[in-house]
Amino acid sequence: MAEDDTRDFADFSARLAERAEQLPKRLRQVAHFAREHPDDIALGTAASVAENAGVQASTLVRFAKTLGYAGFSDLQQVFLTRLKQRFPDYRQRVALLRAGPGEGSLSGPLLNGFADAASLSIDRLRSSANPTLIDEAIEILAGAEIIHLVAARRLFPVTVYLAYAFGNLGQRCALLDHVGQLGREQIALAGPRDAVLAVSYTPYAPATVDLTTIAAQRGNPVVAITDSPSSPLARLATVRLDVEEADHGAFRSLAATFALAMTLAVGTAERKGRE
């Protein structure tokens, strides 16, 4: 198989469609998982993908080779390339905005576009938020001795705000900044009465997933703010709160995320005040 072919998701889909009916049961199981959770294939390890798909790791290798790939890692590159194409880097995003129609000042359309994306994100949150789940999340956070805040990359400011808000509201918290790659040592300080509040959206930050996994395995309850039931945080969460942020020019809003974060912070303080 040519190098370009092995990196093309459309080619993978075509090959799978040709062979789908002839695949053994376990390989059909992998095919179904790949269709439903392509981001998990892109970002997971062979062991985690196999576990989530309900098969052995060797089955993933057999699936890949059946479709003409050298192995699972080779197939995984197809899914990773697809994911990167969906989320271009920042220079590409700015270029897309510059390529938009119209003459004159760019600031007006930019402001309107980002404001519209923020408004749409808030509207989506209003319509999709589950008050029962939010109440459950607040109950967990209010009952924690210390809340450990976990996020990375563009979502790190959300946990910085939460650290500020919780601190001013009298709730003990610990912001995991992962400076010096010390995230594992930081999360290791979580006690048995502590909780974790983790935030991660596609493409999920490996550090966030890794640190949240450590806490969950130790028995700490996890409140996860994420974007999909297929998020790697979903299987770790005691309570999962999904947020769908709109974007403008591939720059995604954080308006709904901050609104939800403020709700959790103030709701936790109000709950503790009742006690």
Position 81 confidence tier, pLDDT thresholds 50, 70, 90: confident
The first and second tokens of residue 149, run together, are: 């805040």
Residue 88's pLDDT is: 54
Which domains are seen in the chain, by residue range? 3-86 (1.10.10.10), 109-274 (3.40.50.10490)
Residue 160's pLDDT is: 97
DSSP 146-165: SEEEE--GGGHHHHHHHHHH
Q: What's the rounded Cα separation, in Å, for the pair 194 and 172?
A: 10
Residue 97's pLDDT is: 56
Residue 105's pLDDT is: 66
Q: What is the pTM of this model?
A: 0.67
Q: Provide the percentage of residues in the chain whose pLDDT is more than 70.
A: 89
Residue 108's pLDDT is: 81
- Structural contact between residues 220 and 194, judged by C-beta atoms closer than 8 angstroms: yes
- β strands within the chain, DSSP E: 147-150, 173-176, 195-199, 222-226, 239-242, 247-248, 251-252
Residue 246's pLDDT is: 87
Residue 94's pLDDT is: 58
Position 217 confidence tier, pLDDT thresholds 50, 70, 90: very high
Q: What's the rounded Cα separation, in Å, for the pair 124 and 20?
A: 36
Residue 248's pLDDT is: 80
Work out the average pLDDT over 44-55. Answer: 88
Work out the average pLDDT over 247-262. Answer: 90
Output b/e per residue, 174-200; b: 16+ Cβ within 10 A: bbbbbeeeebeebbeebeeebbbbbbb
Residue 36's pLDDT is: 79
Work out the average pLDDT over 18-25. Answer: 87
Angle between helices 72-86 and 9-19 (to 10 degrees): 130
Tell me the per-residue pLDDT of 101-134, one tens digit each, with 9 for 90 and over: 555 666 888 888 889 989 999 999 999 999 999 9
As to burial, measured by CB atoms within 10 angstroms (0-12 exposed, 13-18 middle, 19+ buried), residue 11 is middle
- Structural contact between residues 184 and 211, judged by C-beta atoms closer than 8 angstroms: yes
- Count of CB atoms situated within 10 Å of the CB of 49: 23
- Structural contact between residues 189 and 146, judged by C-beta atoms closer than 8 angstroms: no
Query: Which range (11-15, 167-171, 185-189) has the least confidence?
Result: 11-15
